[in-house]
Structure 1
Amino acid sequence: MRRRGILHPQLARILSEMGHTDGLVVADAGLPIPRGVERVDLGFLPGQPPFLAVVEAVLAELSVEGAILAEEIQSANPEVLREVLARLEAPVTYVPHEAFKERVASARAVVRTGECTPYANVILFSGTRGVFPG
């Protein structure tokens, strides 16, 4: 049994299987998840677990070379945006929410949280950043 890091077996497996440029979505409770995309459903109550806690845990275990956020987060949820940007050490691209939802279909998996604030979704792209010595 693991003592640290992600304890959820499905999420731990997905993180260990992530390859270069694979996308992992950390989503709020309302983001539609297309059929065929693996779902890790962590939400158990409104707000639980919170989006930022899950993002932080994933970032501690996954090398991320880029991220996509919906443009709408900038005006609809600036507090969450500020917190996500503070945790990311990778470039961020903004796309309209409809385009974001289209990109979810090609993700390796979607991790659904209990978050109920608007546009609290991010696609994290795995990479070699920080994995191999320079």
Structure 2
Amino acid sequence: MKKLGHLNRDIARVLAGMGHTDSLVIADCGLPIPDGVECIDVSLKIGTPGFFDVLDTVLADFKVERAVFASESLTQNTAVAGRAGQFAKTGVGIEYVAHEDFKRLCKHAKAVIRTGECSPYANVILHSGVIF
């Protein structure tokens, strides 16, 4: 049995296959999943698991170079906006785009991890960095 890293086999597989600049989405339960993009649905019920729970476990096992958030999160979800600010402190590039543009960008993701989160604009596109 795997001892370290992400235990969800689908998430671990996607993370292991990521190359530099590939993208992965962590989404609330309402974000539409584009056709042709793998959906790893970890939702159990409304609110479980939460966006931050899933984000933290992914970040523990994934090198992020850039993160994209919906600009609406700045006014509609201060918790997500606050976490975005924390990314900048660690050298991760931050970008904000309109939610409609965010949804279009999701079409290029390797996968979308769907959480049980039910707060507005609790979504992020993580672009893979390199570990060397």
Q: TM-score range by the shorter chain?
A: over 0.9
Aligned to 2:53: 53
The whole-number CA distance in structure 2 between the counterparts of 1:27 and 1:85 is: 18
Pairing 1:72-91 to 2, within 5 Å after superposition: 72-86=72-86, 89=90, 90-91=92-93
Q: 1:115 aligns with which of 114, 117, 121?
A: 117
Aligned to 2:26: 26
Aligned to 1:70: 70
The whole-number CA distance in structure 2 between the counterparts of 1:58 and 1:71 is: 22
The whole-number CA distance in structure 2 between the counterparts of 1:52 and 1:116 is: 12
The whole-number CA distance in structure 1 between the counterparts of 2:71 and 2:25 is: 16
The whole-number CA distance in structure 1 between the counterparts of 2:20 and 2:86 is: 23
Aligned to 1:3: 3
Residues 19-69 of structure 1: per-residue CA shift (max 9 Å, x gap): 110000000000000110001000010000000011111111111100100
Aligned to 1:102: 104
Aligned to 1:125: 127
Q: Secondary structure at the match of 1:105?
A: helix
CA-atom RMSD in angstroms: 1.1
| Equivalent pair of 1:25/1:107 in contact (CA under 8 Å) | yes
Q: Which amino acid aligns with 2:100?
A: E
Q: Which amino acid aligns with 2:96?
A: Y
| Equivalent pair of 1:56/1:87 in contact (CA under 8 Å) | no
Identity across aligned pairs (percent)?
Answer: 48
TM-score under structure 1 length normalisation: 0.93
The whole-number CA distance in structure 2 between the counterparts of 1:82 and 1:117 is: 14
TM-score under structure 2 length normalisation: 0.94
Residues 57-114 of structure 1: per-residue CA shift (max 9 Å, x gap): 1111111100100000000001222134325630100000000000000101000000
Question: How many residue pairs are counted as aligned between the two chains?
Answer: 130
The whole-number CA distance in structure 1 between the counterparts of 2:87 and 2:11 is: 20
Q: Secondary structure at the match of 2:104?
A: helix
Give the gaps of 5 or more residues in structure 1: none
Q: Which amino acid aligns with 2:79?
A: E
